[in-house]
Structures are given as C-alpha cells and as structure tokens.
C-alpha cells in the first residue's frame, strides 16, 4: 500500500530534524560572526527559548505539543483579550519561557539541547552550559542589593542568587525591576542570567502553606499556571469593567458632511467605553484630530474605526515595536504601527496616564 506524503514525513523525523538544526546553526553562526560582543551564555539561553519557533515544520513541535499545551491557553479562551497589549505581550513572554522549560526538562527537549550544545561554536563556557538542565531555576523572586551586586531572592527557599549585570548598568537594572516577578535563572560564569521576566505585582500573593507543600517541579508547574490564570483574570476584569454599554463591532470611520474634525474626533471617541471616560478629554480629542489629519484616506464610510480605537488604548501600555506585529490579521497592529511611527511624540504623552 503506497504511503501518503504526510505518512512518509512521519517516518523520517531524523532527516527533517537534522535539516532544521542545520538551518538554526547557520543562523546562529551568522549572528555570532556579525557581532563580536555576543555573550555566550545569554545568547545560548535566548536560542533555546526560541528554538521551537524555528522548527515549526519539523516533528519537534508535534512531539512537544502535549507538553506545551499543558501551559498554553486554547486560543478561543483568550481571543477576546489577546488584542490588548496588556495581555498579549506578557503572555507571549510566558509562552517563550515554557518553551525553554521544555528544552531543559523534557527527554526529547534535552536531546535537542545536547545537539545544540555540541555544535555551539563557542568553546568557553560549554561546561557550565551543560549543567543547565540540572541547575536551572524557575521561581518567584524579589530583587535585593548588597554592595554593588544585584541578587534575586527566591520566595520559596529564601536563597539569594547573584545576577550577572555590567557594573555600569547595575543601578539602572535594579531600579527598573518590579517588586515581585517570575523568571528562569540559569548559571553563567560569574552568577546567574535570565532572558524573561514576568511581573506579577498586581496578583494576589501565593499562600505560604501552598509553597511549603510542593517540591521543585510541582512549584514550577504551579507557578506557570498561576501566572497565566492571574494574567487572564486581571485583563478580563480591567476591560470588562468598562462594558456598561455595548461597544459596537463596526463603526464607520466616515466624517459627516459639514462635521468639523474636532466634532468628528469626539464622536469617534464616544464609541469606546474606556476612551470616553478618559479624564484628559481635550488632550485625547486633539490627538484624534492629528490622526485624522495625518491619514485622511483611511477615514472612509467602508472602514471600521474600532481597530483604531483599540490601537489608541494600547498606547496606555508599554509598546514594543520589536514584537511581531501582524498587519494582515490584526488591523489594530496596523494602526498602532502608523501612530507610533508617524506621531511618536504625541503618542508618548499617554504613557503617563491610565484608562
């Protein structure tokens, strides 16, 4: 019986995996060759956290799916809040951490880790890198300082871990840390490094009784589920609290005949429950007038203005233009990009406010 292409692909995972590794190795080599200042440890940690994103067409993601799906939300559970940067960006970083967790703890993940380590073009530090699957640490931390050194104190064990930061950056690094956060630490030459930091200051504190009852693996899994649950509840509550009147799915971006730009801007703002309550209404109106003036051809009867309103609301969060913006599937991202690149100074004013 002749096998289908899909069945043949399942029977040849090693060849596919090797091809994928070759592509990844070449990409890594190119980055290293272009930048002599690459930190061996930091770059390797970033690589394993991004590894599964680079091998989407190999058997690895399929084999990793059962493991990862324990930590990811089904898309239909988060589709309503995923358009908000307040949820989307922390959740993206959370998912990135779960992928690194897979590479360091799952038997297949460890095999991939070992292949990557053996190939890694840096000789220095390989012995320390090889200990990561045994010595990584995922926990909730609070930052402390002693002398000129930054430490992360594990709330579960009260142990303090020295963090590798350039001496000239110590003060700025420490001052920008949240008071409580989750991260993955791995050992390096002179301390520990991290690639992802998940702030959880607004969340309820975890009961000390719960913490004491768990071993290391149970604590890690509990902590990741705890973070995603609290993040979803926080953002859902924040945006649903403004829903005392329905927000339309479509509202035409058409300026009425004889309507001034100021009145047009005011009418658009009134369509969103959060924006219409913004206390600095004149500032918001002036900003919308500038957007209307900057992009006149995007305001037409057949254009839905709701993505624009969502984009403006995201200006009240920290915006990362380096994050993947999906213009085709997310018109909000398209508006966000236009605003931040065309009116950056005006947009920056809203970082000092909350909706």
* pLDDT tens per residue, range 246-257: 566 788 888 887
pLDDT on residue 17: 52
- Which secondary structure element, helix H or strand E, spans residue 332, and what is its range? helix 331-342
DSSP H helical ranges for 241-305: 261-269, 281-294
Name the most confidently modeled range: 55-59, 72-76, 114-118, 132-136: 132-136
What are the start-end ranges of the E strands in the chain?
A: 137-146, 149-154, 160-162, 181-187, 192-193, 197-199
Residue 188 pLDDT grade (very low, low, confident, very high; cuts 50, 70, 90): very high
The residue that leads in pLDDT, 343 or 319, is 343
* pLDDT tens per residue, range 4-13: 443 333 323 3
Please say if the pLDDT value at position 2 is more than 50. no
Task: Write the DSSP symbol of residue 272.
Answer: S
Nearest to 49 by CA among 137, 124, 113, 131: 113
pLDDT on residue 350: 81
Please say if the pLDDT value at position 28 is more than 50. yes
Average pLDDT score over residue span 170-178 = 86
Residue 128 pLDDT grade (very low, low, confident, very high; cuts 50, 70, 90): very high
Task: Compute the distance between CA of residue 328 and CA of residue 196 in angstroms, rounded to an integer.
Answer: 28
Residues 102 and 109: beta-carbon distance below 8 Å: yes
What end-to-end distance do the CA atoms of the chain give, in Å? 63
Q: Note the Cα 81 to chain centre separation in Å.
A: 14
- Which secondary structure element, helix H or strand E, spans residue 94, and what is its range? helix 85-105
Task: Compute the distance between CA of residue 134 and CA of residue 139 in angstroms, rounded to an integer.
Answer: 15
Average pLDDT score over residue span 320-347 = 74
Please say if the pLDDT value at position 132 is more than 90. yes
Number of neighbouring beta carbons within 10 Å of residue 127: 8
pLDDT on residue 169: 84
pTM over 0.85: no
* pLDDT tens per residue, range 66-83: 777 788 888 778 877 877
Average pLDDT score over residue span 203-208 = 88
Task: Compute the distance between CA of residue 150 and CA of residue 158 in angstroms, rounded to an integer.
Answer: 15
User: Mean pLDDT, the chain, as a whole number?
Assistant: 81
Task: Compute the distance between CA of residue 200 and CA of residue 36 in angstroms, rounded to an integer.
Answer: 35
Residue 144 pLDDT grade (very low, low, confident, very high; cuts 50, 70, 90): very high
């Amino acid at each position: 019986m002749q096998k289908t292409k899909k069945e043949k692909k399942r029977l040849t995972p090693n060849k596919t995996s090797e091809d994928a590794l070759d592509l990844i190795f070449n990409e890594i080599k190119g980055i290293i060759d272009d930048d002599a200042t690459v930190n061996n440890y930091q770059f390797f940690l970033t690589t394993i956290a991004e590894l599964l994103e680079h091998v989407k067409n190999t058997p690895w993601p399929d084999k990793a799916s059962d493991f990862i799906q324990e930590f990811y939300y089904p898309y239909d559970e988060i589709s309503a809040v995923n358009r908000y940067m307040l949820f989307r960006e922390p959740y993206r970083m959370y998912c990135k951490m779960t992928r690194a967790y897979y590479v360091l703890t799952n038997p297949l993940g460890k095999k991939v880790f070992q292949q990557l380590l053996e190939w890694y073009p840096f000789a220095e530090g390989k012995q320390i890198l090889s200990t990561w699957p045994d010595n990584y640490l995922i926990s909730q931390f609070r930052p402390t300082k002693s002398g000129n050194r930054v430490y992360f104190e594990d709330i579960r064990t009260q142990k303090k871990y020295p963090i590798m930061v350039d001496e000239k950056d110590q003060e700025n690094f420490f001052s920008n840390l949240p008071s409580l956060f989750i991260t993955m630490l791995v050992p390096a030459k002179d301390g520990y490094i991290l690639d992802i930091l998940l702030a959880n200051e607004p969340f309820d504190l975890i009961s000390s009784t719960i913490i004491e009852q768990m071993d290391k693996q149970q604590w890690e899994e509990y902590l990741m589920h705890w973070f995603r649950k609290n993040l979803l509840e926080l953002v859902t509550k924040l945006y649903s609290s403004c829903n005392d009147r329905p927000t339309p799915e479509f509202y035409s971006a058409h300026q009425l005949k004889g309507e001034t730009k100021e009145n047009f801007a005011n009418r658009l703002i009134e369509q969103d429950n959060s924006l219409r309550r913004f206390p600095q209404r004149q500032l918001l109106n002036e900003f919308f007038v500038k957007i209307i003036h900057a992009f006149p051809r995007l305001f037409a009867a057949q254009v839905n203005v709701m993505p624009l309103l969502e984009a403006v609301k995201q200006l009240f969060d920290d915006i990362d233009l380096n994050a993947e913006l999906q213009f085709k599937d997310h018109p909000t991202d398209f508006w966000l990009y236009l605003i931040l690149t065309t009116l950056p100074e005006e947009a920056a004013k809203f970082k000092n406010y909350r909706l």
